[in-house]
Structure 1
Amino acid sequence: MKLLVTGVTGKVGGNFLPAFLAAERFAGWSIRAICNNRVVEHPGVEIVRASLADADAMFAAMEGVTHVLHMAAVKESPLLAMEVGVGGMFNLLEAFRSTPGTRQFVLLGGDCTVGHMFQRYNEPITDAAPRRAYPGCYALTKVLEEVMLEQYGIQYGINGCCLRAPWIMEKDDFRFALSFSDQFGGPPWSELIDAGAVARHAQAASVPLLRDARGAPLRRNFIHVDDLVGAILTALDHPAAAGQLFNIAMDAPVDYGEVAQYLSATRSLPVAEIDTPFHSNWLDNAKARLLLGWKPQVDLQRLIERAWDYVRAPDDPRKVWYPG
Structure 2
Amino acid sequence: MKILVTGATGKVGKAFLATFLDEELYSSAKVVALCHNRKIDAGERVEIVAGSLADPEAVAQAMDGVTHVLHMAAVKESPDLAIDVAIKGMFLLLEAARQSPTLKQFILISGDCAVGHIFKEYPEPITEVSPRKAYSGCYALTKVLEEVMIEQYQIQYGLNGTVLRAPWIMEKDDFKYVLSFGADQFGGPVWGDLMSFDKAMRLGQGDFVPLMRDKTGAPLKRNFVHVDDLVAALMAALDHPDAMGELFNIAMDEPVDYAQVAAYLTRTRGLEAVEVPTPFHSNWLDNTKARHLLGWRPQVDFEGLIERAWSYVRSPNDPRKIWYPG
TM-score (norm 2): 0.98
Counterpart of 2:239 in structure 1: which amino acid?
D
User: Matched residues in 1 for 2:270 and 2:189: separation?
Assistant: 25
- Superposed displacement of residue 101, structure 1: 1.8
Aligned to 2:27: 27
Aligned to 2:275: 273
- Superposed displacement of residue 321, structure 1: 3.5
Query: What are the equivalent positions in structure 2 for 1:230-269 lying under 5 Å apart?
Result: 230-269=232-271
Aligned to 2:3: 3
- Superposed displacement of residue 86, structure 1: 1.3
Aligned to 2:95: 94
Deviates more, 1:83-92 or 1:119-128: 83-92
User: Matched residues in 2 for 1:130 and 1:200: separation?
Assistant: 41
User: Matched residues in 2 for 1:290 and 1:322: separation?
Assistant: 32
**Alignment partner of 1:314 out of 313, 316, 324:** 316
Aligned to 1:222: 224
Output the aligned Cα RMSD: 0.8
Aligned to 2:289: 287
Deviates more, 1:27-36 or 1:251-260: 27-36
**Alignment partner of 1:300 out of 284, 299, 302:** 302
User: Matched residues in 1 for 2:100 and 2:215: separation?
Assistant: 49
Q: Is the 8 A contact 1:8 1:14 kept in 2?
A: yes
Deviations 1:37-63 (CA, angstroms, capped at 9, x unpaired): 101014131000010001222122211
2:43 aligned with 1:40: no
Deviations 1:96-124 (CA, angstroms, capped at 9, x unpaired): 11111211000000000000000000000
User: Matched residues in 1 for 2:231 and 2:39: separation?
Assistant: 20
User: Matched residues in 2 for 1:238 and 1:283: separation?
Assistant: 22
Q: Which runs of 4+ in 1 moved over 6 A?
A: none
Deviations 1:1-44 (CA, angstroms, capped at 9, x unpaired): 11011000000011111100011121211111100110101413
- Superposed displacement of residue 322, structure 1: 3.6
Aligned to 1:79: 80
Counterpart of 2:156 in structure 1: which amino acid?
Q
User: Matched residues in 2 for 1:216 and 1:307: separation?
Assistant: 25
Q: Is the 8 A contact 1:224 1:298 kept in 2?
A: yes
Q: Is the 8 A contact 1:179 1:205 kept in 2?
A: no
In structure 1, the gaps of 5 or more residues are none
Q: Is the 8 A contact 2:168 2:223 kept in 1?
A: yes
TM-score (norm 1): 0.99
Aligned to 1:57: 58
Aligned to 2:132: 131
Aligned to 2:16: 16
Q: Is the 8 A contact 2:222 2:284 kept in 1?
A: yes
User: Matched residues in 2 for 1:135 and 1:251: separation?
Assistant: 27
Counterpart of 1:205 in structure 2: which amino acid?
D
Counterpart of 2:322 in structure 1: which amino acid?
V
Query: What are the equivalent positions in structure 2 for 1:145-160 lying under 5 Å apart?
Result: 145-160=146-161
Counterpart of 2:217 in structure 1: which amino acid?
G
Q: Is the 8 A contact 1:117 1:220 kept in 2?
A: yes
Q: Percent identity?
A: 64
Residue aligned with 1:184, SS: coil
User: Matched residues in 1 for 2:7 and 2:123: separation?
Assistant: 34
- Superposed displacement of residue 75, structure 1: 1.0
Counterpart of 1:36 in structure 2: which amino acid?
H
User: Matched residues in 2 for 1:233 and 1:125: separation?
Assistant: 23
Aligned to 2:141: 140
Residue aligned with 1:320, SS: coil
User: Matched residues in 2 for 1:201 and 1:79: separation?
Assistant: 36
